[in-house]
Amino acid sequence: MNKLGFIGMGNMAIAIAGGLVDKKVFEASNIYAYAPNQDKLKKNGELIGFNPVDSLLKLVDACDTVVIACKPYQIDDVLSQVGDSLSGKNLISVAAGWTYDSFASKLNNVNIQCIMPNTPAMVGEGVFLFEETNSLPADVKAEVKTMFESLGVVVDMPTRLMGIGGAVSGCGPAFMDMVMEAYADAAVKYGIARNTAYKLVAQTMLGSAKLQLETGKHPGVLKDEVCSPNGTTIRGVASLEENGLRNACIKSIDVIMDSKKV
Ligand SMILES: NC(=O)c1ccc[n+]([C@@H]2O[C@H](COP(=O)([O-])OP(=O)(O)OC[C@H]3O[C@@H](n4cnc5c(N)ncnc54)[C@H](OP(=O)(O)O)[C@@H]3O)[C@@H](O)[C@H]2O)c1
């Protein structure tokens, strides 16, 4: 891969392109992007360093590897304009709901890899679900994996689990943000300044996640280790159970999975 092009430069593409440049995995001068709002694109280009391009065709012509990062419903229109020009190139899609088969049925001779990313990629802590069914040549696949591993964790997923995986890790940052906001509200309610509250809560979330990942301990065991008999933490745990935390979390995924059936 020599030249990386982004179709769409919104939240997700900025997270990926910005992360790759920050981590020095890809030279900003070898990254190109197209988006309809050219003023916004140029501003982001100045911030991140990539080359803004003013047409889809120019973007595809300039790059050997193209990342589709526009909204899922815009992809048919994009492919109708540049589908033929993608022949012989690598296509990486980060669009929710688009799988290898949906691209393969519309394109010829394109090396395709669908990925479900999440925005913590911006700080090198992303999750990238790689659809197991793909048509990247082995050497390119290895390069693409290495590239995304620099931005977080890469997990191979069968096609049938891409939807649920995306619901948990792609939508998940919003849920974690809500939990952080809620605990910060509680801290503020009892007198802690807002900024301090976010710092305290975010670091607690980060530290708890790291502790689980590094020890491999069951989250329930880690929770038990913090709950002393007749102590304060177990009272908080009981209150969360009483107020349906577990059920609320599972239901937040149910509504996503139900919406995919519509
Ligand atoms: N955000 C997430 O957390 C997340 C997580 C997982 C997957 N994804 C996937 O990532 C993709 C992008 O999501 P996002 O959140 O980054 O959306 P976004 O912030 O709305 O960005 C969409 C980008 O697409 C551009 N665009 C609009 N119409 C276009 C067209 N006809 N041709 C080419 N580009 C066009 C927009 O340009 P203008 O601004 O100029 O209109 C914008 O740069 C989606 O497919 C989504 O499913 C996102």
Q: At 161, phi and psi to the nearest 5?
A: -105, 0
- Domain edge (last residue) among 91, 126, 157: 157
How many DSSP H helices and E strands does the chain contain? 12, 8
Say yes or no: 33 and 89 in one domain.
Answer: yes
User: Ligand 1, closest atom to CA 97?
Assistant: 47
Distances (CA, A) of 193 to 52, 57, 116, 197, 205: 41, 51, 36, 6, 18
Residues 18-74 pLDDT 10s: 999 999 999 999 999 999 999 999 999 999 999 999 999 999 999 999 999 999 999
Say yes or no: 142 and 195 in one domain.
Answer: no
Residues 79-116 pLDDT 10s: 999 999 999 999 999 999 999 999 999 999 999 999 99
Residues 176-215 pLDDT 10s: 999 999 999 999 999 999 999 999 999 999 999 999 999 9
Q: Whose CA is nearest to atom 36 of ligand 1?
A: 8
Residues in the chain: 262
Residue 115 belongs to what H/E stretch? strand 111-116
Please give the residue range of the domain that contains residue 49. Answer: 4-157
Say yes or no: 196 and 114 in one domain.
Answer: no
User: Ligand 1, closest atom to CA 118?
Assistant: 5
Say yes or no: 152 and 108 in one domain.
Answer: yes
Residue 164 belongs to what H/E stretch? helix 162-165
- CATH number of the domain enclosing 60: 3.40.50.720
Say yes or no: 89 and 208 in one domain.
Answer: no
Closest CA to 160 of 221, 209, 219, 99: 99
Mean pLDDT across 130-159: 96
Cα 117 to the center of its chain, rounded Å: 3
**pLDDT for res 261:** 75
Ligand 1 pocket check: which of 40, 71, 128 to mutate, most ligand atoms within 8 Å of Cβ? 71
Residue 163 lies in a domain: no
Ligand 1 pocket check: which of 12, 169, 260 to mutate, most ligand atoms within 8 Å of Cβ? 12
Mean pLDDT across 213-234: 98
Residue 98 CB: number of other CB atoms within 10 A? 18
Q: Please check whether residue 124 is in contact with residue 151, taking contact to mean a CB–CB distance below 8 angstroms.
A: yes
Instruction: Name 154's bridge partners.
Output: 128
**pLDDT for res 108:** 95
Say yes or no: 215 and 243 in one domain.
Answer: yes
Confidence of residue 262 (pLDDT cuts 50, 70, 90): low
Q: Which residue has the tokens 């790689």?
A: 130
- Domain edge (last residue) among 157, 188, 217: 157
- How many domains is the chain built from? 2
- Domain edge (last residue) among 130, 157, 184: 157
**pLDDT for res 239:** 98
Say yes or no: 150 and 115 in one domain.
Answer: yes
Residue 113 lies in a domain: yes
Ligand 1 pocket (Cβ < 6 Å) reads: 7-13, 35-37, 40, 69-72, 74, 77-78, 94-96, 116-119, 170
Strands (E), 120-204: 126-131, 152-157
Q: Is the pLDDT of residue 122 over 90?
A: no
